[in-house]
């Protein structure tokens, strides 16, 4: 599932791991900026994920990938905007 700034992949866990808390992997490519910028985006994405965790189905693994333009847009629009984008991509995935 993808939006303009985020891509979300999800994978069902094998039967032995089913039912556990959802796990998240975050990928931020080097083309988005230096280490400071990439780490800031990772922290913000983790926090946004935590805020929407009650909507995330258990028993799956997720990978959230940032796309070009995300750091600049988050800086301009604010953290609440990012939380809405994470919720949006999760909602698209659930549909």
pLDDT at 41: 96
Give 40-69 pLDDT, tens digit per residue.
999 999 999 998 888 887 788 899 999 999
Q: Does pLDDT of 19 surpass 80?
A: no
Cβ(32)–Cβ(66) under 8 Å? yes
pLDDT at 77: 95
Q: How far apart are CA 65 and CA 44, in angstroms?
A: 13
pTM, to two decimals:
0.86
Q: Which CATH number fits domain 6-94: 3.90.1150.10, 3.40.50.300, 3.30.230.10, 1.20.59.20?
A: 3.30.230.10
Q: How far apart are CA 33 and CA 68, in angstroms?
A: 9
pLDDT at 13: 80
Q: Does pLDDT of 94 surpass 80?
A: no
């Amino acid at each position: 599932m993808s939006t303009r700034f985020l891509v979300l992949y999800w994978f069902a866990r094998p039967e032995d791991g089913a039912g556990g808390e959802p796990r998240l992997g975050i990928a931020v490519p080097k083309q988005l900026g230096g280490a400071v910028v990439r780490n800031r985006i990772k922290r913000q994405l983790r926090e946004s994920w935590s805020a929407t965790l009650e909507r995330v189905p258990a028993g799956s693994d997720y990978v959230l990938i940032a796309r070009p333009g995300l750091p600049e847009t988050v800086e301009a629009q604010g953290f609440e905007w990012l939380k809405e984008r994470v919720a949006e991509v999760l909602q698209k995935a659930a549909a």
